[in-house]
Each structure stands twice: as C-alpha cells, then as structure tokens.
Amino acid sequence: MTHEEARELIPAYAVDALAPEEARALEAHVEGCAACRQELAAFRETAVELAAGLPQVTPPDTLRTRVLGATGTRPGRGAAGRPWAVWALAAAAVLIVLLGMQDLTLQRQIAGLDRQVAREGQLLALLTSPSSRTVELSGTARGGVHFVFNPVAHEGILIAGGLANPGPQSVYQVWLVSGAKPSSVGVLRPGQGQSQTTILFIGADFTRYQAIAVSVEPGPVGSPAPTTKPVLSATLPGAS
C-alpha cells in the first residue's frame, strides 16, 4: 500500500468503516509511517469529539423501516445483500468526520494566527522600545546572534542568523548567567539552511543576570546544566 493510498483510507479506518483486508493493509503501513499515525490520531480525536457532542436520542420505530426501504434491504436481512448500502452509510460517517476535522483544523489555524500576531506585536514593541538594549554574542560558533531585551518589561528575544545545524542529536541551549550559576531559558535548533533566522523569546528579570551564553547540548530538550563550554556569550549591560 502506497502512502497516498493509506491517506485516502485513514478517515474510513477512524470510524471502523474499512473492509478487514484494507484495514490490515492500512495498519501495516501506519505501523511504519509516523505521518500517517499522526493523521490517524487526529481523525480519531475528531470522531470522539463529535460522538461526545451528539445528543443521545431514541429514533422512532418507523425510521428503521424507512431506511431499509430507501436502501432496498428487507427487514430481517440486514445490509449483507446490499454491500453498497454499507459503503453509503460508511461514506456518510466519514463525511461527518471530515467536516468536523475541517472545522477543528480551521479553529487551530485561527488560534495559530492569533499567536503569531501576538508574537509579532511583542517583537515590534520590544525592538522599538527606548528601554530595550541590544548585545551581540560572540564565540567559536559562526553566525550573527543578537539579544534584544527590555529590563523594564522583563522581555527579551534572541535572534540567531546563519548558525550551523548542531547535529541530529543536539540543540543550542540558551543560558542566563548569574555569578557562576547558569539558568536555562530555552533551546533553539536552526534549520538545514544557514541563511535561516531562528528566534527565541525569553522572559526574565534581566537585572539579576550578568551574561547570556549558548552551548551545544543533547536534544531535544537540552540539559539541566551545561555539559559543554559556551560557543557564544555576551555580557548584559546594566546587570546588578
């Protein structure tokens, strides 16, 4: 089964509407495909949310007769004699899931745009504030890395351009240093292209720290304390 064939069957599998042979083939594909596993989980989540939101009602006795009559199935025979009727019902179920999935996806996209707008507003305010200060980090790592921070608003942003990828198992970890004690404020991982700019928002009382430093640490979340020497660092002006 190809990847595209599997993606087409995922909505039906999420509502148990596949034939056994197709279900087994899809399961074999999903077992080795992380993207399809993620997509299947999203469809299942939507199906559960839709099911939970539907009110439980008792259909009238005449509804079954009308449905069977519309599909050409006699009472007592079921839909076994009309496979297309089963697929029609399955298609309807999949359509409901797809519509719910589209609505959920739209909501997530809107939420993502709201967060992006908020971050861009935060960045603009930080860059234009007269209270903001900028330092350039230097060291053994190539690239242009600047730290812009507002000690009054306790907001900062690390802007890294041209940093090389630290490796598949590593990340750059950012530290604020007070005396001899570094505190982690996040990790960043540039893309494959060195022309890309990576941004890390940082919130802290910067008057408590004397320096900012970057080290290479095990990914994906970094280390509780630095395990290597800093590859970049800068002194923070105005620190106590």
Q: Which of 42, 13, 44 has its CA nearest to residue 26? A: 13
- DSSP H or E stretch at residue 48: helix 34-53
Picking from 118, 130, 140, 144, the residue whose alpha carbon sits closest to that of residue 201 is: 118
Q: How far apart are CA 16 and CA 224, in angstroms?
A: 45
In this structure, the answer to whether residues 163 and 220 fall within a common structural domain is: yes
The bridge status of strand 133-139 relative to strand 144-150 is antiparallel
Residues 142 and 162: their CA atoms lie apart, in Å, by 7
pLDDT the model gives residue 171? 94
Query: How many domains, in total, are found in the chain?
Result: 2
**pLDDT: which is higher, 26 or 106:** 26
Same domain, 141 and 191: yes
Same domain, 19 and 82: yes
Asked if residue 99 and residue 16 are part of one domain, the reply reads yes
Q: Are residues 96 and 164 in the same domain?
A: no
Say whether pLDDT at 185 is over 80.
yes
Is the pLDDT confidence value at 116 over 80?
A: no
In a domain, 76, yes or no: yes
Examine residue 199 and state whether it is found in any structural domain, yes or no. yes
**Residue 108 located in a structural domain:** yes
- The predicted model scores a pTM of 0.53
Same domain? For 95 and 141 the reply is no
Q: How far is residue 52 from each of residues 41, 96, 159, measured CA to CA in Å?
A: 16, 13, 44
Summarize pLDDT for 69-115 with one digit per residue, the tens.
Answer: 554 555 545 444 445 455 555 556 666 666 666 666 666 767 666 66
Which of 78, 112, 146 represents a domain boundary (last residue)? 112
Asked if residue 127 belongs to a domain, the reply is no
Whether residues 144 and 108 share a domain: the answer is no
Domain CATH code at residue 209: 2.60.40
- Please check the confidence at residue 138 and state whether its pLDDT lies above 50: yes
107 and 162 share one domain: no
Residue 27 has pLDDT above 60, yes or no: yes
Which SS3 state, helix, strand or coil, does residue 203 take? strand
pLDDT for 42 equals: 73
Q: Quick check: is 122 in a domain?
A: no
Is position 119 within any domain?
Answer: no
Query: Does one domain contain both 144 and 57?
Result: no
The one-letter code for the residue type at 45 is E
Q: Count other C-beta atoms under 10 Å from residue 43's C-beta.
A: 20
For residue 82, the model assigns a pLDDT of: 46
> Which burial class, exposed, middle or buried, applies to 97 when counting CB atoms under 10 A from its CB (0-12, 13-18, 19+)?
buried
Phi, psi of 124 (to 5 degrees): -60, -45
The half-sphere exposure of 55 on its side-chain side, counting CA atoms within 13 A, is 3
Residue 138 maps to a domain = yes
Q: Is residue 78 part of a domain?
A: yes
Residues 17 and 82 in one domain: yes
Long-range contacts of 168-171 (CB under 8 A, 24+ apart): 168/219, 169/218, 169/219, 170/216, 170/217, 170/218, 170/219, 171/216, 171/217, 171/218, 171/219, 171/220, 171/221, 171/222
- Write out the residue range of the structural domain in which residue 146 sits: 133-235
